[in-house]
Amino acid sequence: MASTADIKNGVVLSIDGQLWTVIEFQHVKPGKGGAFVRTKLKNVVSGKVVDRTYNAGAKVDIQNVDRRDYTYLYNDGESFVFMDATDYDQVSVTDTVVGDAKNYMLENQPVTIAMHDGNPLYLDLPASVVLEITYTEPGLQGDRSTGGTKPATLETGYEIQVPLFLETGTKVKVDTRSGDYLGRVND
């Protein structure tokens, strides 16, 4: 068991059987009373964020989470298959763990997978990816970048909102956290 002195950003704690990542922490030594550690924790699985305070010196259960680089290979219908970039081992990850990341993944794309005791916890994608628009309604004369938006289907099958002037075949940069259109990419 570790103590509150070992708490740092990015450390994973086990609390009541669930894993929580430390987003922020602050050691506080008030003029009166004992010192304490104020933390902001994010649930590894659900993404829920909570604030928690520990007395200085309290015992915490720090877990070892291994973050490794993988390459997305394919979806076999039941799970997504990734290959370890260092030793070429393959790992299957269920749809529930992949979550919304599947909307932005192309084959041979690098991703980071966090593992705990050999079980995949979550995927980290780059902040943005470049994807091609496979279908969108044609733009009309007079459509400009300051106008509205229209739906566009990406090569992954995911649909986002793009400016009216974009056409099928255009490569666009997409934010993997929100699904927002970030801009056109010129070849």
Q: Write down the domain spans for the chain.
A: 2-63, 66-124, 128-185
pLDDT at 145: 54
For domain 128-185, the question of CATH label 3.50.50.60 is answered with no
pLDDT at 165: 82
The reply to whether 128-185 shares the fold of 2-63 is no
Neighbour-count burial of 169, counting CB atoms closer than 10 A to its CB (0-12 exposed, 13-18 middle, 19+ buried): exposed
Tell me how far apart the alpha carbons of residues 174 and 142 are, in angstroms, rounded to a whole number: 25
Range 15-33 average pLDDT:
89
pLDDT at 125: 87
Q: Is the pTM of this model over 0.95?
A: no
What percent of the chain is predicted at pLDDT more than 70? 95
pLDDT at 159: 92
Q: Which CATH architecture has domain 66-124?
A: Beta Barrel (2.40)
Let me know: does 115 contact 122? Beta carbons within 8 Å: no
Q: What is the pLDDT of residues 137-148, one digit of tens each?
A: 886 665 565 667
Tell me how far apart the alpha carbons of residues 90 and 111 are, in angstroms, rounded to a whole number: 13
Q: How confident is the model at residue 36 (pLDDT cuts 50, 70, 90)?
A: very high
Q: How confident is the model at residue 154 (pLDDT cuts 50, 70, 90)?
A: very high
Q: What is the pLDDT of residues 67-114, one digit of tens each?
A: 889 999 999 888 999 999 888 889 999 888 888 888 999 899 999 988
Neighbour-count burial of 94, counting CB atoms closer than 10 A to its CB (0-12 exposed, 13-18 middle, 19+ buried): exposed
| Residue 21: half-sphere exposure toward Cβ, Cα within 13 Å | 17
pLDDT at 140: 66
What percent of the chain is predicted at pLDDT more than 90? 31
Q: Name the more confident of 129 and 186.
A: 129
pLDDT at 37: 92
Tell me how far apart the alpha carbons of residues 51 and 44 are, in angstroms, rounded to a whole number: 15
Let me know: does 53 contact 36? Beta carbons within 8 Å: yes
Mean residue pLDDT of the chain comes to: 87
**2-63, what's its fold?**
SH3 type barrels. (2.30.30)
Range 116-142 average pLDDT:
83
